[in-house]
């Protein structure tokens, strides 16, 4: 099952607090595949009301400059209802719903989002469900099939916090694999890392975490600082060697088909359909 076209190439998603007007001017120059206007964790409770009109303005401004914009709302219904009010939904590529632990949360949010979009004469943007707790991870099999979803996200920091442990692979590998497996099972993008996204000084360590994330099957990651963006973009892209290999695989497959063969030997390995599909995906993403 292929990833949905509108989000399949999103590698880096840079968070922008809704109240951080000073970050908007250069936001579209950071190289991120998408910009996430945040109304949740980045906004203190006493500034939620103030942040909402600022978020609406930021969404409109960034979308007008050609950015792919995502909105992260608050998890509580009485808050996300206000978050969506008067939001220019047509300008959003997706909406992130955090702290998801049941499919009912997604259904309620999807219905409200559809109603809001209909009132604006628009189609609702798709939803990215963020699974950030043990209950959320265990609910992945029930959440992933929802028709309104475009992505699942794994919240490493929140998950580790729920365990009372640092965000390290020993605690995060299994839940991360759980989330990404169900995402791929339903053709969803899956954003996350089995490690901390808070690292902004040790870029070598962060790069290792990103490479491990791609190796696990994540399709991209959120970024909390612009310096993380190029590392995530490189880490979730095929390398030059991988692209060269993929081109040779596709060429060998085409030659085999011309000769009426179902498989071909290349570099000591049999090249059949699953390998060819991976090669084509790498070339498409490049």
Mark whether 122 and 226 lie in a shared domain.
yes
The total number of structural domains that make up the chain: 2
Looking at the chain, the whole-number percentage of residues with pLDDT higher than 70 is: 98
State the Cα–Cα distance between residues 16 and 37, nearest whole angstrom: 5
Q: Are 68 and 14 in contact (CB under 8 A)?
A: no
Q: Do the domain assignments include residue 161?
A: yes
- In order of 42, 55, 73, 86, 161, the CA distances from 45 in angstroms are 10, 15, 13, 20, 20
Mark whether 211 and 268 lie in a shared domain.
no
Mark whether 206 and 226 lie in a shared domain.
yes
Q: Do the domain assignments include residue 7?
A: no
State the Cα–Cα distance between residues 167 and 157, nearest whole angstrom: 6
Q: Do the domain assignments include residue 4?
A: no
pLDDT in tens, 215-236: 999 999 999 999 999 999 999 9
pLDDT in tens, 66-120: 999 999 999 999 999 999 999 999 999 999 999 999 999 999 999 999 999 999 9
Q: Do the domain assignments include residue 60?
A: yes
State the Cα–Cα distance between residues 272 and 262, nearest whole angstrom: 7
Mark whether 65 and 128 lie in a shared domain.
yes
Mark whether 84 and 126 lie in a shared domain.
yes
Helix (H) and strand (E) counts for the chain?
A: 11, 10
pLDDT in tens, 127-145: 999 999 999 999 999 999 9
Mark whether 112 and 176 lie in a shared domain.
yes
Nearest to 105 by CA among 74, 71, 69: 74
State the Cα–Cα distance between residues 115 and 30, nearest whole angstrom: 34
Mark whether 152 and 276 lie in a shared domain.
no
Q: Do the domain assignments include residue 147?
A: yes
Q: Do the domain assignments include residue 5?
A: no
| DSSP code, position 228 | G
**Any residues with CB less than 8 A from the CB of 153 and at least 6 apart, and which?**
96, 128, 129, 130, 131, 132, 179, 190, 191, 192, 222
Range of the domain at 271: 241-285
Mark whether 190 and 219 lie in a shared domain.
yes
Of 209 and 239, the one with more pLDDT:
209
Predicted TM-score (pTM) of this structure: 0.89
Given a cut of 80, is residue 246 above it in pLDDT? no
Q: Do the domain assignments include residue 6?
A: no
**Looking at residues 184-195, what average pLDDT do you find?**
96
Of 214 and 262, the one with more pLDDT:
214
Q: Map residue 13 onto helix, strand or coil.
A: strand
Residue 30 belongs to a domain with what CATH number? 3.20.20.60
Mark whether 141 and 153 lie in a shared domain.
yes
Mark whether 197 and 169 lie in a shared domain.
yes
Mark whether 130 and 92 lie in a shared domain.
yes
Q: Do the domain assignments include residue 1?
A: no
Average pLDDT, the chain: 92
Mark whether 259 and 204 lie in a shared domain.
no
Predicted local distance difference test score (pLDDT) of residue 286? 66
**Looking at residues 184-207, what average pLDDT do you find?**
95
């Amino acid at each position: 099952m292929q990833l949905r076209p509108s989000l399949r190439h999103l590698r880096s998603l840079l968070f922008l607090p809704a109240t951080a007007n000073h970050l908007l001017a250069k936001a579209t120059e950071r190289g991120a595949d998408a910009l996430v206007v945040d109304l949740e964790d980045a906004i203190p409770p006493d500034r939620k009301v103030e942040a909402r009109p600022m978020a609406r303005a930021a969404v409109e401004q960034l979308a007008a400059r050609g950015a792919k914009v995502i909105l992260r709302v608050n998890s509580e219904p009485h808050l996300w209802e206000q978050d969506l009010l008067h939001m220019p939904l047509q300008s959003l590529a997706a909406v992130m719903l955090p702290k998801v632990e049941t499919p009912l949360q997604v259904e309620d949010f999807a219905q409200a989002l559809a109603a809001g979009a209909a009132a604006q004469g628009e189609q609702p943007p798709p939803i990215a469900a963020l699974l950030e707790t043990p209950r959320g991870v265990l609910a992945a099999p029930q959440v992933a099939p929802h028709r309104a979803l475009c992505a699942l996200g794994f919240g490493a920091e929140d998950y580790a916090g729920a365990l009372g442990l640092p965000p390290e692979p020993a605690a995060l590998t299994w839940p991360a694999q759980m989330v990404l497996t169900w995402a791929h099972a339903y053709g969803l993008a899956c954003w996350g890392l089995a490690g901390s996204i808070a690292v902004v000084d040790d870029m070598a360590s962060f790069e290792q975490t990103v490479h491990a994330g791609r190796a696990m099957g994540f399709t991209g990651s959120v970024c909390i600082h612009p310096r993380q963006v190029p590392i995530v973009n490189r880490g979730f892209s095929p390398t030059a060697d991988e692209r060269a290999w993929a081109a040779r695989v596709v060429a060998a497959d085409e030659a085999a088909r011309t000769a009426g063969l179902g498989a071909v030997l290349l570099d000591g390995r049999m090249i059949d359909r699953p390998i060819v599909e991976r090669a084509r995906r790498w070339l498409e993403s490049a």
